[in-house]
Amino acid sequence: MEKIIAGVTVDVNAEGYLTQISQWNENIASAIAVEEEVGPLGPKHWEVLKYLRDQQSRGTALSIRGIGKSGVVDIKTFYELFPNGPLKKASKIAGIPKPASCI
């Protein structure tokens, strides 16, 4: 299905995750962050989002534990940056599919 985010029509699934990773950009990420009550995005948010996109492109399975061990951010800070379901929210903002480890 289609949705307009940041003035751009993008393809999303029923949960609102982008289905075409190539449609993502920083404006879309910022708009999704506001929708998810995470924004505005600061430098640490962007660092996490770039890490997630990089891991996704490598085919790495994402998990909160893995992010905590990444050296990018510790688990406590990850929860502070993306409250109420950090991996789900961060993945949605990063424009990548919801990780299999998320319910």
* Residues of the chain above pLDDT 90, percent: 87
pLDDT in tens, 16-63: 999 999 999 999 999 999 999 997 999 999 999 999 999 999 998 899
Band of pLDDT at residue 73, cut at 50, 70 and 90: very high
Can you give the pLDDT at residue 98? 83
- CA angle at residue 23 from 67 to 90, to 5 degrees? 25
Residue type for 82, please? F
Can you give the pLDDT at residue 7? 95
Can you give the pLDDT at residue 53? 96
| 67 given a catalytic annotation | no
**Strands 2-5 vs 8-11: parallel, antiparallel or unpaired:** antiparallel
Average pLDDT rounded to a whole number, residues 4-20: 95
Distances (CA, A) of 36 to 31, 54, 66, 81, 86: 9, 22, 22, 12, 10
From the candidates 6, 21, 64, 102, give the one annotated as an active-site residue: 102
